[in-house]
Amino acid sequence: MDIDALIKKAEELARKHDVEYYEVRIVKVSATSLEMQNSRLEELSSNIELGVGVRVFNGAWGFSSANDMRRAELAIETAMKIAKVMRGNSRIYLGDPVKDKVFIECKEDFEEVGIDEKIDVVKEIDNLLADKGISNRKVSYGDGKKWQFYFNSLGSEIETLIPRVKLIFSATAKANGDMQSYWKIFGGTRGWEVIKKIDFDYWTNFVKNKAKNLLKAQLPPSGEFEIIMDPELTGVFIHEALGHASEGDAIKNGESILEGKLGKKIGVEELTVVDDPTLEGKFGSYVYDDEGIKARRVEIIKNGVLNEYLLDRETAAYLNLEPNGHGRAQNYNYQPLVRMSNTYIEPGDWSFEEMLNEVKHGLYLIGDKGGEVDIVNGTFMFGAKEGYLIENGEIKGHIRDVALSGKILDILRNIRAIGKDLKIDFPGYCGKGQWVPIDDGGPHVLTKALVGGLV
């Protein structure tokens, strides 16, 4: 693969087709995936994929991709032809050319770890999860490296390499026709050291005991309550409810409750919400986005005021702002979209015990069990893995199948306390037509919401 020759060919084709702007991403992904369920190895794969994605702007975008580098020139010319046909009157931010090379290094390279050792780890966790009362157990392991060479018509040439590793295991307990599940996830832009530092005995016992104890938990009460969200639930709330509403394409398309609110107070003064792809080792971290823009920390909310949106080249130009490194694509065969990275609430100065003492009759809700959000109307509903009743500052009965709902901006304005115990360690993938790795979190947060049971 002669990259220099491809750069020259792209310049030649751009002159021929008289295009305004183009960018090319050459991507190589190597990945290993293992999955075991109830001692049976369900998946074992190791793949390498190489391809090229091309975007061309001529008032509107043209896009083409190829999974064979021998077709790279054809992909470039095809994207240029599409852009010429599409036309349009949109603008994009161009900026200055960038030349850089950044490889994120692993302390222990997972590519140097044999597949047998990885299988042994999965088997060990599966064995530790086996227990009386556990009807189903599942272990999934994945690692991969994404190498990318990006160049554009401005003269940018950026080479990056990002490793990622992830481990998730779950247990389902069953008794008297009832089932409850619990799970734990580990991951980051790191190497095998992520796996080596996990205390498998502790965490497998934690997961299976949680699943079994949930069978004995009571159903939640219904109504409006003061609630304390743990760092995991805080993270999913701020990602889903606020993060998506702050994405530039939602603003541009008139699909967000945050449209037109830049510079306005939308939360309590103590609230600062950040999306930061530069955090070391987190699952959603990267150095440059897929538009060749340097990643940077974005304070979406600062001291209660809507401070910034998440932007790519096109939405930045639309809003007369500068992009902040949030144009991301799942792979070479996808176009970049405005996406989050590592999203979290900054810590305050409250201890968990001080928060508890503030609650006379409320709930402590723990973990993320999925949900939905409507960023147009500003409403949400999320499930928690579990919860506890709070009576006069004391944790009481264990509850399960609990959901919280409400209006996004009401929740932000009703925050009474923000903890000092920041945790950003809940790796996952965010879907928006395509999947990208993210992380989220925060401290414990005391606010008010509607609570009810999950159907």
What CATH number corresponds to the domain at position 68? 3.30.2290.10
Tell me which H or E stretch contains 204.
helix 200-214
Query: How many separate domains does the chain show?
Result: 2
pLDDT tens profile 240-261: 999 999 999 999 999 999 999 9
Same domain, 168 and 249: no
Residue 43: partners with Cβ closer than 8 Å, 6 or more residues away: 33, 34, 35
Residue 372: partners with Cβ closer than 8 Å, 6 or more residues away: 380, 381
Segment 295-317 mean pLDDT: 98
Final residue before a domain boundary, out of 194, 214, 234? 214
pLDDT tens profile 390-407: 999 999 999 999 999 999
Q: 């490889």: which residue's tokens?
A: 103
Could you say which DSSP state residue 246 is in? G
Same domain, 160 and 273: no
- Angle formed at CA 192 by CA 191 and CA 197, multiple of 5 degrees: 115
Same domain, 199 and 279: no
Retrieve residue 318's tokens. Answer: 């639309």
Same domain, 188 and 236: no
Same domain, 434 and 308: yes
Alpha carbon distance 14, 317 (integer Å): 22
Same domain, 246 and 209: no
**Sign of the CA dihedral running 388, 389, 394, 397:** negative
Final residue before a domain boundary, out of 158, 191, 214? 214
The answer to whether residue 191 scores a pLDDT higher than 90 is: yes
Positions of E strands within 18-156: 21-37, 40-57, 61-66, 99-103, 134-152
Same domain, 272 and 194: no
- First CA to last CA distance, the chain: 54
Segment 194-214 mean pLDDT: 98
| Residue 394 and residue 363 in contact, taking contact as beta carbons nearer than 8 Å | no
Q: Counting Cβ atoms within 10 Å, is residue 313 exposed (0-12), middle (13-18) or buried (19+)?
A: buried
CA 20 to centroid of chain Cα atoms: 32
Tell which residue, 336, 47, 355, 386, has the closest CA to residue 210. Answer: 386
Retrieve residue 222's tokens. Answer: 């219904």
pTM summary value: 0.97
pLDDT tens profile 321-370: 999 999 999 999 999 999 999 999 999 999 999 999 999 999 999 999 98
Q: 């609230």: which residue's tokens?
A: 271
Tell me which H or E stretch contains 165.
strand 157-175
Alpha carbon distance 254, 267 (integer Å): 21
Same domain, 141 and 288: no
Got the DSSP string for 313-360?
Answer: HHHHHHTTS---S-EE-SSTTS--EE---EEEEPP-SB-HHHHHHH-S
For residue 31, give its domain range.
Answer: 3-214
Same domain, 235 and 189: no
Task: Give pLDDT, residue 453.
Answer: 79
Final residue before a domain boundary, out of 214, 233, 253? 214
| Residue 173 and residue 211 in contact, taking contact as beta carbons nearer than 8 Å | yes
The answer to whether residue 455 scores a pLDDT higher than 60 is: no
Same domain, 204 and 232: no
Distances (CA, A) of 449 to 221, 299, 336: 12, 25, 35
Paired residues of 441 in beta bridges: 344, 424
Task: Give pLDDT, residue 219.
Answer: 95
Same domain, 170 and 317: no
Same domain, 148 and 270: no
Q: Longest C-alpha distance within the chain, in Å? A: 75
| Residue 283 and residue 439 in contact, taking contact as beta carbons nearer than 8 Å | yes
The confidence band for 189, taking pLDDT boundaries of 50, 70 and 90, is very high
